Amino acid sequence: MAKFDIIAATGCPTGIAHTFMAKEALEKAAAERGLTIKVETHGQVGVENELSKSEIAGAKAVVVAADKDVQAERFAGKPMVSVGVSKALSVEAAGKLIDRALAAKGDSTVAAAADVEDEVEEKESIGHVIYKHLMNGVSHMLVFVVAGGVLTAVSFLWGITSFDSTAADYNSFAAMLKIIGGIAMNLMVPVLSAYIAESIGKRPALVPGFVAGMIAIQGLPVNAETGLIDAGGAGVGFGFLGGIVGGFLAGYVILLLEKVFAGLPKNLDGLKAIFLYPLFSTAIVGLVMLGISGPMAAINTAMMDFLKGLSASGAVVLGLAIGCMCAFDMGGPVNKAAYVTGTAMLTEALAAGVGTDTYNFGTNFMAAVSAACIVPPLITTFAVVVGKKYFSQEDHDAGIVNLILGCTHITEGAIPFMTKNIWPVMPIMMLGSSIASILTIMFNVHDPAPHGGFLVLPVVENGPLWVLAILIGAVVGGILFVAFKKHDFEKNQKAAPAAPSKSVEAPKPAAVEAPKAEAADFVKVENVFVAEDFTSRDEALSFVSNQAVKAGIASDADAVMNAFLAREAEGTTGMMEGFAIPHAKSDAITEAAVIVVKDESGVTGWDTMDGAPVNVAIALLIPGAQAGTTHLKILSKVAEALMDEDFRATVKGSADAAEIAKTINDRLV
């Protein structure tokens, strides 16, 4: 059995995108550090790449990046860091998690952080624990909602009342689809409740969890004539919120019973599992749930009335709320809150029946949520097609794939674009989604299916207007995204034409151009930028990364930037007296080169040895294959040159790109 330096487990509520994005980021981060890794994924199809006991035992450290239960107790005693899945969606973030896990103590489930801020971030807060339990229920519930909702919606293809044997458009096959879909939808709340409970109390909590969910659907039955509790009477269910309360109640009741029965002899463990736990937990949870049915039903009604009240305030208010929530974190907790609310409203709508006010509001609400979730990936597709030259090839390819993801209601494809520039990309996505939601409500679109994107278009009422609303949101957002990328691109390129003009005006151009044929001419005049103004280290490194792509030195600016940041994470490249020598080693770099940037005002935030800001950054770009040869040769020569006072004075004091290029090249021979 192979041994791995790092083992990891990832999982997100839907198990569609975040789970595998985190896996890829962790694998790349481990490779950059020369470490072996195995990542177990808890996706919608179940556990894949499952970790064995021997692999867990042989690992140096563990990374858990999940918003659902991944049985982390298996890793007890191992150095481990446990965070939400959103903390591991980039290679840089995943690398930090690996570093912290390796630095953690073996008897702790939390990494030993480098500073107080990191330590606070790594600790699994009460909020995250609650969220993780909740999302474990949501992830199991969603597949029932999707299957049941889509089958119910498909039954409407034969007619809106085709399931009714007394209706003119009755169809027996449609009726069967409606029955199957209804059963699946009715399982939504019990499954939600059961798997919240299971996340807390493990397998014993499933029984009281399911019972709590069923009570949440049915409520407390009362005889209409006597007004007394009656098993044959009718009750008022308290739905989705009741399922959540019941799930947490069932889970923690099991934990309580484990403490109560802890003193029983070990030979009675079988009795506890098969008799004591299910009996006492079901009785306790059932009585509590029936007891709170009245207040919970009132709360559930109040929530629905509040949402309908937003609608009464106008399409703009409701659509803005839906759009901003769905696009805020692209499938994260805020997005899921909006989506799950939409599915809850849809469940109420389908239960109320076609033609009712509840049906009309719920299906309109669901259509607005779906539109808001579809738009962000389509914004990226529009942007990479219209503004292709402003994006890397990797981004362009991802944007094209997002056409498929967006059309099938998978929002997460837009995450990589947002994480690179949260501001202003997040507001752009929120605006595009809000426009689509507002127009969907105004166009009176009704979507009886909770998922599927354009695949369920045949059952969407006013479907063409729905597509129009989504396209308008995507185009507006796409135009703004292209405008931002164009501005960013031009800002990074503004100094490029200045260097050649300065070399023409320089008094000694011939002396500079002579050595161009020499192999040691790593610094070209056009790659020296003498009049920059950077607000931070990362802005300077981003500028260098983009210039590398423009000069044909590299093929992917993002990969180069990540390589720079990975090196800075290992230890600062800031030197003394205003110098820094950042270096990137990456397969995206096609030839060894040096790019020089100067900022007379000084770049702050670069950790230098003497605390002074950086005025000159001599950036080394090395192909991955030359990491141990050319890289070390150039780095050692630059470091040696920085010890020379004359060298420092010439490079730092000159405003002539040609003179700077020659001075550095002479030292690299």
Q: Which residue numbers are catalytic?
A: 12
| CA dist., res. 75 & res. 253, Å (int) | 25
Beta bridge mates, 66: 11
Beta bridge mates, 617: 580, 597
Decide: 180 and 257 in contact? Cβ < 8 Å.
no
| CA dist., res. 338 & res. 182, Å (int) | 22
Decide: 260 and 243 in contact? Cβ < 8 Å.
no
Give the up-direction half-sphere exposure of residue 642: CA atoms within 13 A in the CB hemisphere: 18
- Collect all residues with Cβ–Cβ distance below 8 Å to 454 and sequence separation of at least 6: 374, 407, 408, 467
- Would you tell me how many other CB atoms lie within 10 Å of the CB of residue 523? 23
Pull the structure tokens for residue 302.
């109040």
Please give the single-letter amino acid code of residue 471.
L
47 φ/ψ angles, rounded to the nearest 5 degrees: -85, 125
Strands 614-623 and 579-580, how do they pair? parallel
| CA dist., res. 527 & res. 593, Å (int) | 9
Q: How many residues are present in the chain?
A: 669
Decide: 281 and 208 in contact? Cβ < 8 Å.
yes
Burial label for 423, CB within 10 Å (0-12, 13-18, 19+), is exposed
Decide: 253 and 202 in contact? Cβ < 8 Å.
no
| CA dist., res. 421 & res. 539, Å (int) | 12
- Collect all residues with Cβ–Cβ distance below 8 Å to 514 and sequence separation of at least 6: none
Beta bridge mates, 594: 620
Residue with tokens 């507002």: 438
Maximum distance among all alpha carbons in the chain? Answer: 107
- Would you tell me how many other CB atoms lie within 10 Å of the CB of residue 71? 14
